[in-house]
Amino acid sequence: MQINLDADKILIADRAVDFRKAIDGLCYLIVEQLKDKPCDGIYIFYNKRRDKVKIIGWHGNGFVLLYKRLEKHKFKITIENEKMKIDKNQLEWLLMGLDWQMLSDWKKPKFSKFL
């Protein structure tokens, strides 16, 4: 199954959150902690163990809430106390459980000459 998520602004929350929160609770965190508007982008929240993420976004006439739990391993989220803006590719890597920060720094080698 493929989920296509894209927005001009994709933010990872600045700290782990209580995963009992649903749409209204997460919208409150977006306004109060991230100082943003819930309908202005896609927002990613993670739990303390970093094996679960919740993603919230505005979709035309209502909010969409996605929840993903990794069965093995943890999401590679190493930031603390600072919200982080990422792009669509980084979000896909994050959801796959890959080290999206390392992949973001990877540069494709360019061939210039042989021997």
pLDDT digits (tens, 9 = 90+) for 8-27: 899 999 889 999 999 999 99
pLDDT one-digit tens code per residue, 86-99:
888 888 888 888 87
Q: How far apart are CA 17 and CA 2, in angstroms?
A: 26
- Structural domain including 33 reads 10-105
- Count the domains in the chain: 1
Is 84 within 8 Å of 8 (Cβ atoms)?
A: no
Does 4 map to a domain? no
H or E element in which residue 65 lies: strand 63-69
Does 111 map to a domain? no
Predicted TM-score (pTM) above 0.75: yes
pLDDT one-digit tens code per residue, 37-57:
999 999 999 999 999 999 999
Does 114 map to a domain? no
Does 45 map to a domain? yes
Q: How far apart are CA 54 and CA 46, in angstroms?
A: 6
Does 112 map to a domain? no
H or E element in which residue 46 lies: strand 42-46
Does residue 114 carry a pLDDT above 80?
A: no
Does 35 map to a domain? yes
Does 1 map to a domain? no
